[in-house]
């Protein structure tokens, strides 16, 4: 009985050290929230850049997205942790977490925002400009508010990815949930209960978000065929897929 | 020049290439295994309304809502198999869940009328899946599959957490032998560059597929 990795007394020993897990959970949560704020900021700015007509801005945004998305997060975090101190830039692990994961997710959010902006018909921007709005004003008051509904589900999925990605900090002993659980597990040689608990803690954070995103998207498709149709680009596609969309909503 | 040859000596290059081979072997095995089981899981979740459908939903949601690194660590320490296989196993069980959702996205993009049409022509359920639904589904999900490949290649770098010496691992070991910051930065640039070349090639294909997809009736949205 006691040789099982999940025996009862092992759970008891884990319960006694609940504070370790609570601290890790809290650190993960705080890093995730701050990183998400940074990612949203970067994502909206670069998303607007990539849907603007200025080649320079488009290029900057493209470089950011391609570089960040095509290089593993682990390498980016190692660079902040092992590389930057060599040129005298010392960041603590908490900052590395927020900065590294925020910048990484920002590239994905930028693509979400770009797709959202491009789903709004060009006529909206033209109409706003004809009424004397500047480009930035039109974005702020006309375009972005309309994209919110469309980008919310993919945005929430990115938030879920972000929370999961905070676990990369375990690789630089970052004090997050994954790190604390793993170091506790290896110091006590109790892997089973530690990993199950850790998994559950991540699950309670991610599952509600992921489920909400899925349901919201379903509702969007079934009750608001129009906004789903806005995702389609040309008029030909519009007529071609209309019956399909309504049918899918009914399913 | 001396600096470069100190970093990229014959031994070092072979050392790094061995890591790249491990990365590619693990990523490729993961993708193949995950595609196979992910397709089964996606089909079951979508079309079975009994216990099997519920079980695959539980599997998918469990792995989608927990970090990969947790499974890498847990499987390494709880399943007594060699590190390399433990790496493939943990990557595969995780990626299978993601693939299942990708496949489901493809299945949902197919008009229900296709089933009715096939039935009216005397096809059975499995025949319809095999000859009508699955071929169309895979055609629609090519872009999502390619972006999942990029993610999988990047994800292999997490395996360094359990000391599997894939490309990132080899690079970090090599870096430990370097003293000068220039050497370290060049090595970082090289590592990032290698991943970039592989993934950028894949993502360029995604983009081409996506623009082609706009002429299709219904583009499938890619979620990273």
Please state, rounded to an integer, the average pLDDT across all residues of chain A: 85
CA B55 to chain centre: 22
First to last CA, chain B: 40
Q: Tell me what percent of the residues of chain B surpass a pLDDT of 90.
A: 62
Q: Is B73 an interface residue toward A (CB < 8 Å)?
A: yes
Residue A5: Cβ-neighbour burial (10 angstroms; 0-12, 13-18, 19+): middle
Closest-CA distance of chain A to residue B94, Å: 12
Q: What ipTM was reported for this prediction?
A: 0.88
Q: Is B196 an interface residue toward A (CB < 8 Å)?
A: yes
Q: Is the pLDDT of residue A239 over 50?
A: no
* DSSP state, residue B1: -
**Mean pLDDT value of segment A113-123:** 91
Residue A132, number of CB atoms within 10 A of its CB:
8
CA nearest to B77, candidates A194, A100, A151: A194
Give the pTM: 0.86
Residue in the structure block whose two tokens are 């990132």: B168
The answer to whether the CB of B181 falls within 8 A of the CB of B3 is: no
What pLDDT digit, counting tens, does each position of B161-173 carry? 999 999 999 999 9
Q: Is the pLDDT of residue A242 over 80?
A: no
Query: What's the rounded Cα separation, in Å, for the pair B22 and B5?
Result: 24
What pLDDT digit, counting tens, does each position of A6-61 carry? 777 777 777 778 888 899 999 999 999 999 999 999 999 999 999 888 899 999 99
Backbone φ and ψ for B177, nearest 5 degrees, come out as -90, -10
**Angle at the Cα of A199 from the Cα atoms of B90 and A32, rounded to 5 degrees:** 105
Do the Cβ atoms of B160 and A171 come within 8 Å? yes
Query: What's the rounded Cα separation, in Å, for the pair A52 and A60?
Result: 11
Closest-CA distance of chain A to residue B74, Å: 6
Closest-CA distance of chain A to residue B115, Å: 13
């Amino acid at each position: 009985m006691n040789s099982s990795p999940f025996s009862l007394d092992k759970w008891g020993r884990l319960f006694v050290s609940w504070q370790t897990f609570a601290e890790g959970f809290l650190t993960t949560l705080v890093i995730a929230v701050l990183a998400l704020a940074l990612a949203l900021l970067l994502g909206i700015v670069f998303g607007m850049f990539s849907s603007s007509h200025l080649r320079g801005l488009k290029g900057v945004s493209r470089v950011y997205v391609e570089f960040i998305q095509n290089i593993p997060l682990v390498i980016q975090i190692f660079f902040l942790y092992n590389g930057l101190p060599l040129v005298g830039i010392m960041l603590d692990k908490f900052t590395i977490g927020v900065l590294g994961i925020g910048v990484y997710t920002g590239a994905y959010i930028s693509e979400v925002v770009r797709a959202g902006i491009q789903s709004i018909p060009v006529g909206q921007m033209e109409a706003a400009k004809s009424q004397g709005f500047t480009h930035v004003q039109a974005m702020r008051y006309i375009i972005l508010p309309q994209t919110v509904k469309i980008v919310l589900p993919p945005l929430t999925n990115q938030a879920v990815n972000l929370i999961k990605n905070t676990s990369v900090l375990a690789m630089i002993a970052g004090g997050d949930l994954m790190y604390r659980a793993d170091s506790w597990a290896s110091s006590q040689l109790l892997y089973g209960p530690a990993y199950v608990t850790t998994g559950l803690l991540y699950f309670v954070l991610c599952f509600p978000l992921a489920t909400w995103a899925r349901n919201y998207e379903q509702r969007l498709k079934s009750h608001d065929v129009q906004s789903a149709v806005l995702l389609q680009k040309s008029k030909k596609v519009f007529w071609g897929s209309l019956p399909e969309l309504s049918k899918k909503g009914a399913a | 020049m001396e600096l470069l040859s100190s970093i990229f000596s014959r031994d070092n290059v072979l050392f790094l290439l061995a890591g790249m081979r491990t990365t590619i072997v693990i990523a490729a095995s993961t993708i193949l295994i995950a595609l196979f089981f992910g397709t089964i899981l996606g089909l079951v979740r979508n079309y079975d309304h009994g216990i099997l459908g519920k079980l695959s939903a539980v599997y998918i949601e469990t792995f989608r809502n927990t970090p990969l690194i947790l499974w890498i660590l847990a499987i390494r320490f709880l399943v007594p198999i060699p590190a390399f296989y433990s790496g493939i196993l943990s990557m595969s069980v995780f990626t299978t869940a993601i693939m299942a959702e990708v496949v489901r996205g493809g299945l949902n993009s197919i008009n229900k009328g296709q089933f009715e049409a096939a039935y009216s022509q005397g096809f059975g359920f499995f025949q319809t899946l095999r000859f009508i639904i699955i071929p169309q589904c895979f055609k629609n999900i090519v872009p999502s599959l390619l972006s999942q490949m990029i993610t999988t290649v990047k994800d292999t770098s997490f395996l360094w957490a359990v000391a599997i010496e894939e490309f990132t691992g080899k690079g970090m070991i090599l870096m430990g032998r370097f003293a000068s910051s220039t050497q370290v930065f060049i090595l970082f640039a090289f590592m990032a560059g290698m991943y970039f070349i592989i993934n950028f090639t894949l993502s360029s294909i995604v983009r081409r597929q996506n623009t082609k997809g706009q002429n299709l009736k219904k583009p499938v949205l890619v979620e990273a």
